Amino acid sequence: MPQLNESPSVEMPRSTSQERAELHRTIWKIANELRGAVDGWDFKSYVLGILFYRFISENLAEYVNKQQRDAMGADFDYASLPDEDAEAGREFLVQTKGFFIKPSELFCNVTARASLDENLNETVAAVFKSIESSAIGTPSEPDLIGLFDDIDVNSSKLGATHEKRREKLVRILNAVQSLDFGNAGYKDNSIDAFGDAYEYLMTMYAGNAGKSGGEFFTPQEVSELLARMAVAGKTEVNKVYDPACGSGSLLLKFAKVLGKDNVKQGFFGQEINLTTYNLCRINMFLHDVNFDKFHIACGDTLTDPAHWDDEPFDAIVSNPPYSLKWDGDANPILINDERFSPAGVLAPKGKADLAFTMHMLAWLSTTGTAAIVEFPGVLYRSGAEQKIRQYLVDNNYVDTVIQLPPDLFFGTTIATCIIILKKSKADNNILFIDASAEFVREGNKNTLSAENRDRIFNQFTARVDEQYFSRLVTYDEVKDNGYVLSVSSYVEPEDKTEKIDITELNARIASIVKRQHELRVAIDAIVLDLEGGAA
């Protein structure tokens, strides 16, 4: 794992900022102490996996304890219950929570025995298998199966020998056990701290892993801005969707912007990378989104979309991979796909950006909004992409185009943009916002501060002109400009070069030349005097 030199910044609610800051310091310390032969990006699977194991253990135990307290009017401790007694509640717990964990297999009990368990790695592997198996044949099976696949506690990555792997696992269990969630934890029936810890770990590892870590991870402040714009003016939505959901950070921002109970029918997403797909499902659980409220699929969204029966969606957010290669016109079936056929042309084989855009537009509800992070080339490139832009503009689907600052995302320094799509616009104008200067520098990356986000969002909702910042452009102007959607084509940049008064400058130069002449005369006189004295 690479040396971790400084703690990344993660925004926290004011009411718990001190508590969260202490939690983050502890996590950072753990990550430094446990680094070693295991690469940081690989090692994140173990830390996040064990954090998840602790969460679902405490989640289940507290749920049972509360059920028993309400029924019996007395304290109850599921963790101390014999396994055979707990079996009576297996079916009920799988129906309500989606999984079952025996008391002996709870995180707290396994960790308490860890240092004395000579076969600890096998014990933990068996526990993980038992948890996943508890969902087989039930509605929660798709959400549990394979969830621990990337947490191979017998891998040589943990150590060259069985004993070294056991020692490393003991340290990880104890380290995660040491995390004090304080008043943000279960004692006050709030589990936000688990999700916060997860997001912090993801940010930390992505920031230190370069492209390998950042390619799936959208910074939290960008995620929040996208979610706010996608639900602007709404207090609730039915379903939210991300076709390239990565670790799920974008989807989960809806839970924070609206409240998860105001996403009525749940969170939908698809991810092609198996490891990242597992991280997304873990993220849902850690944010206390129950198995029946999230629907995350693994696969290729463009050629094998998983949610045909669930669309349309009221709010769509996404940061799809930039300039991804796909089948394009090499696959004759795709041009007849109802998602892509309306444009009459497919996105280029080497640039699938607008294929994702067309997919999202097709699955957007009539009153919905899609907020999409795009590679800037899609705004001006010619050929098939120009024809797709023409389709989008001619049919009045493009609501807003926002130029973002450079160096916001892990793994790339390019200045990306946001395209907002709507199917029920009130007019046929397009708002262009130049937010390229809306950032603050934190560490080695730019970030959108709360003030930056508010300024962009407020301008998005106001839809008015502001010199050097935004401009509402008519359909005819965009059409006459060849359907180019680059913000710089419509919003005049502010000229920040210093204005020079030529008359004043000439006077200063003349004064300098005169003074230069006077100094030369004086120096010549001094030299002549010195030469005379020497003679």
Residue 412: what pLDDT? 76
Residue 265: what pLDDT? 95
What is the spatial distance between Cα 506 and Cα 500, in angstroms, rounded to a whole number?
11
Q: What is the pLDDT of residues 42-94, one digit of tens each?
A: 667 788 888 899 999 999 999 999 999 988 888 899 999 999 999 999 999 99
List Cβ neighbours of 43 (8 Å cut-off, separation of 6 or more).
1, 34, 35, 157, 205
C-alpha 401: how far from chain center: 20
- Which residue, among 316, 273, 320, 314, has the nearest Cα to 417 in the 3D structure? 320
- 3-state SS of 214-229? HCCCCCHHHHHHHHHH
What is the spatial distance between Cα 343 and Cα 391, in angstroms, rounded to a whole number?
6
Write the burial class of residue 342 (CB in 10 Å: 0-12 exposed, 13-18 middle, 19+ buried). Answer: middle
What is the spatial distance between Cα 93 and Cα 84, in angstroms, rounded to a whole number?
15
Residue 425: what pLDDT? 94
| Global confidence as pTM | 0.82
Neighbours of 34 (CB within 10 A): 17
**8 Å CB contact between 55 and 286:** yes
C-alpha 487: how far from chain center: 24
**8 Å CB contact between 195 and 184:** no
Two structure tokens written together for 47: 């830390």
Alpha carbons within 13 angstroms on the beta-carbon side of residue 52 total 24
Write the burial class of residue 480 (CB in 10 Å: 0-12 exposed, 13-18 middle, 19+ buried). Answer: exposed
Alpha carbons within 13 angstroms on the beta-carbon side of residue 317 total 23
Residue 200: what pLDDT? 76
Phi, psi at 434, each rounded to 5° = -100, 95
How are strands ordered across the β-sheet holding 237-242? 294-298, 263-271, 237-242, 313-318, 364-374, 417-422, 398-403, 430-434, 470-473
**Residues lower than pLDDT 50 in the chain:** 1-15, 37-38, 183-191, 210-214, 216
C-alpha dist (Å) from residue 189 to 262, 284, 293, 320, 460: 19, 18, 20, 35, 37
DSSP string for residues in 329-367: GGSTTGGGSTTTGGGSSPPPTT--HHHHHHHHHHTEEEE
**8 Å CB contact between 13 and 195:** no
Q: What is the pLDDT of residues 125-164, one digit of tens each?
A: 999 999 999 999 999 999 999 999 888 888 888 888 999 9
- 3-state SS of 41-52? HHHHHHHHHHHH
Helices 40-72 and 192-209, interaxial angle, to 10°? 180
